[in-house]
Structure 1
Amino acid sequence: MVMDLVAEDLQAFAVFAGHRNFTRAAEELHVSQPALHARIRKLETRLGTQLYAKQGRQLLLTDAGEQLAAFANDTRDRTADFLRTLDAAPPRPLVLIAGSGSYLYLLADPLRRYLTRGRELRLLTGDAAETLTAVRGGTADVGVTALGIPPDDLDCELLAQFPQTLIVRSDHRLAGRRTVRLKDLQDEALVVPPKDRPHRQQLERSMLDQGLRWSVAVEAEGWELLVHFVRLGIGPAVVNGSVRTTSAVRKIPVKDLPPVRYYVVTRPGRDDRVDGLRRALT
């Protein structure tokens, strides 16, 4: 059955699997979203199985989808290797996937140095789950993401760690504190990420474990928007210590929250090019 699959459909699915987002995948493929939907449905019909499922606002690959993505990427890589033996194509650019916070606060200088040496690099954005899926499936060669417990099947090298910090305006009741504990946030209205984000989920669990009451002042996507709302006086926020702020905002370490650890993630058995990129980032 796999032999009947069209190469273009496999490539389309590989791109979709990397993004897990029809809008971004369609833009990369230069096709319309309905056309991409039709390709994925055709693959599901030919294989007789579901390749992805919707969970909340996220699209998750099924086991069959993970296997097909790995097959599609392996096919792409083998084809590229064959063409290179014929000198028919230059080596493909390496692919790096990371979250917006990693790009903003951790990777700017290493990437600038890497790219100024004339090396090509394709950049993808994704959260922790998307990063691990992309590296496992071969859609990305290297990933940078925050992890609680690094997975055993990937090589994970610690890049940096930061305390979790409370950010408040200078006129907030806690602004003069050198450190705070979660109990100091009792009855606060907080600026928080959306409910499906790992940072929000960890904060909610920690507050619940201590029996603390709190409420949502506003949900905001991305660290910069959280900081902006804090500056406006909407409420305080708990953020990674790597997040940059202005003089209008105080950063206070939260003593009873664990540090945030960022890792460089690669597949075992990486080649010299991938290892060179990994070293450049660390």
Structure 2
Amino acid sequence: MDERAVSGDALASFAVFAEHLNFTRAAAELRISQPALHVKVRKLAQALGRPLYHRSGRRLVLTADGAAVARFARAHDERLADFLAEFAGVVPGRPVVLAAGQGAYLYLLGDTIRAVLAEEPTRLRLITCDHRQMLAAVRTGQAQLGVSVLDVLPEDLTTVRLATFPQVLLVPQGHRLARRRAVGLTGVAGARLVVPPQHRPHRVLLEQALRGAGVEWTVAVEAEGWPLITHFVTLGVGLAIVNGCVPAPAGLVAVPVEGLPPVTYHLVHQPSALSDPRVAGLLDRILA
């Protein structure tokens, strides 16, 4: 491999492409033409002798080598920025990037984020994403820390258990199940449920569990995100099974559901991430 063929410009361009996984948007951010970006990425892959991305259906997906190159490219840019800041006598102001989903931000991380930003507003940058995007962001170096519910723990990243909650059924206070200490899956037989859209992890889990228990149910409405799901329950549209960290709005009762596994949120980072004291400090604040 000819090290001279791997330029800093090519690495920086690939880091932007890896963030968007879209040549049009990446080229626009870099202020170059789309064909020019194609050439940069192709030549970088040829210099490294490895494919850096592939197409999966209509999406572009980084290979494992591509994720490693993107992570190195971002680390290279950060080290250069830190050096230039120190050389100019300025304190480096690079923020720690945290990637998480809606539920984590709403019900787990709010107090920590508020406290950190009150101390140093530029210390933290947030990315909102689903669990697959979170893992990709941590793998490519786009984020230093990620928080999400994970069914399978990634072998290439360090994971720390953050919090575990039961799954609960949200019902109106006057509902026949509201006084129960817990309800089995058969207790929701015939119910109209407010559920996430198809193929979302929570929806898939519910369908598998209810099908396995022989429980028939119907979709009252599909809704994206816990706030909208709980809002539909308060309107009387249907019942909903949600993560136990979701607070029951006024007029509703949360009844634990037996037969469903608890939901665990994990904090995820690269094994080397804690060598940065700012990342280690934020991790400690989140765990505390």
Residue 210 (1) aligns with residue 213 (2): yes
* Distance verdict in 2 for CA 1:247–1:10, change over 3 Å: same
Counterpart residue number, 2:70: 69
Q: Distance in 2 between matches of 1:101 and 1:84?
A: 36
Q: How far has the Cα of 1:74 moved from its partner?
A: 3.2
Alpha carbons of 1:53 and 1:224: their partners in 2 closer, same or farther (altered >3 Å)?
farther
| Aligned CA distance change for structure 1 residues 176 and 37 (closer, same or farther; 3 Å) | farther
Within a 5 Å distance, the mapping from 1:135-150 to structure 2 comes to 135-150=138-153
Q: Amino acid of the residue matched to residue 109 of structure 2?
A: L
Q: How many correspondences in the alignment?
A: 274
- Deviations, residues 29-72 of structure 1 (Å, cap 9, x unaligned): 7948x98976765555544757253558x764344542442343
| Aligned equivalents of 2:34, 2:170: Cα separation in 1 | 42
C-alpha distance 76-145 of structure 1, shift in aligned 2 (>3 A)? same
Q: CA deviation at 1:192?
A: 0.8
2:160 is the alignment partner of 1:163: no
Q: Is the 8 A contact 1:52 1:65 kept in 2?
A: no
* Equivalent residue number for residue 193 of structure 1: 196
**Equivalence map 1:99-114=2 (5 Å):** 99-114=101-116
In 2, Cα distance between equivalents of 1:171 and 1:59: 49
Shift of 1:100: 1.0
Conserved 8 A contact 2:53-2:60? no
Match of 1:176 in 2: 179
State the Cα distance separating 1:165 from its structure 2 match: 0.5
Contact 2:10 2:41 in 1 (8 A): no
* Residue 16 of structure 1: aligned partner: 20
Contact 2:52 2:63 in 1 (8 A): yes
Instruction: State the match for 1:263 in structure 2.
Output: 266
SS across alignment from 2:94: coil
Query: What letter corresponds to residue 279 of structure 1 in structure 2?
Result: D
Q: Retained in 2: the 8 A contact 1:9–1:39?
A: no
**1:80: Cα distance to partner?**
2.7
CA RMSD of aligned residues (A): 3.1
Q: State the TM-score, normalizing by the size of structure 1.
A: 0.83
2:134 corresponds in structure 1 to 131
Alignment-mate amino acid for residue 155 of structure 2: D
Specify the alignment match of 1:277 in structure 2. 282
Secondary structure, counterpart of 1:256 in structure 2? coil
Shift of 1:243: 0.8
Q: Which amino acid aligns with 2:198?
A: K
Q: What is the CA–CA distance in structure 2 between the aligned matches of 1:5 and 1:30, rounded to whole Å?
A: 13
Give, in whole Å, the separation in 2 of the partners of 1:203 and 1:183.
13
**TM superposition shift of 1:207:** 1.5
Write the distance in 1 (CA, Å) between the matches of 2:202 and 2:33. 32
- Distance between the aligned counterparts of 2:210 and 2:66, measured in 1? 36
Partners of 1:69 and 1:267 lie apart in 2 by: 13
Preserved CA contact (<8 Å) 2:12 2:74: no
Tell me which stretches of 4 or more aligned residues in structure 1 moved more than 3 Å. 1-8, 29-32, 34-50, 52-56, 58-65
1:63 to 1:43, Cα distance in 2 relative to 1, 3 A: farther
Question: Unpaired runs of 5+ in structure 1?
Answer: none
Secondary structure at 2:231 match in 1: helix
The structure number with the bigger radius of gyration is: 2
Q: How has the CA–CA distance of structure 1 residues 39 and 278 changed in structure 2, closer, same or farther, with 3 Å as cutoff?
A: farther
- The question of whether the paired residues in 2 share the 8 Å contact of 1:69 and 1:137 is answered with yes
Per the alignment, do residues 190 and 53 of structure 1 end up closer, same or farther by CA in structure 2, a change over 3 Å counting? farther
Query: Following the alignment from structure 1 to structure 2, what is the Cα–Cα distance between the partners of residues 116 and 13?
Result: 33
CA, structure 1 residues 41+252, in 2 after alignment: closer, same or farther (shift >3 Å)?
farther
Offset at 1:256?
1.4
